[in-house]
Amino acid sequence: MVLYKFEKLEVWNLSIEFADRIYEIAEKLPELEKYNLASQIIRSSTSISLNIAEGSTGQSDAEQNRFLGMALRSLIETVACLKILERRNYVDNETVQAIYEFSQKLFAKLTAFRRSIKSKN
């Protein structure tokens, strides 16, 4: 089976794992948040991997860098949603801390990937 370029990227695989963790949280949110924060945090977390994939389609380095920038913004949006969920006491502190630490790892990988693309030019 031939893999697409993005499937071989460590940062893409980390983003998929991050989205899985976010889905687990979203599934446990109260009905009140189904169409608000649950929907928003799922969309922002999945947007990370989607932007990484879209940016890897053989486009220019500048275009890939642009998509990685969007992935970073989606990651920050997801973390902001997570903080709101924590303030509303929908998610326990231990879970938030674990996902927050994972988000920092993903942020570092995305940033390093962007730097490596920029340094080639």
Does 33 score more than 90 pLDDT? Answer: yes
Q: Show Cβ contacts of residue 23 under 8 Å, excluding neighbours closer than 6 positions.
A: 42, 45
pLDDT at 121: 58
Residue whose entry in the numeric block shows the structure tokens 């995305």: 110
pLDDT of residue 109: 98
For residue 85, the domain's CATH number is 1.20.1440.60
As for how many domains the chain has, the answer is 1
Domain range for 39 is: 9-119
Over residues 48-83, the pLDDT tens digits come to: 999 999 999 877 889 999 999 999 999 999 999 999
> Regarding predicted confidence, which is higher, 1 or 86?
86
More confident of the two residues 1 and 115: 115
Query: Could you tell me the pTM of the whole model?
Result: 0.94
By percentage, how much of the chain surpasses pLDDT 70?
A: 98
Question: Has residue 3 been placed in a domain?
Answer: no
* DSSP assignment of the chain: -PPPGGGG-HHHHHHHHHHHHHHHHHHTS-GGGTTTHHHHHHHHHHHHHHHHHHHTSS--HHHHHHHHHHHHHHHHHHHHHHHHHHHTTSS-HHHHHHHHHHHHHHHHHHHHHHHHHHHT-
In a domain, 2, yes or no: no
1 in any annotated domain:
no
**The predicted structure's pLDDT at residue 63:** 92
Q: Residue 17: name the closest of 38, 46, 53, 56 by CA.
A: 46
pLDDT reading at 3 higher than 90: no
Flag whether 4 is in a domain.
Answer: no
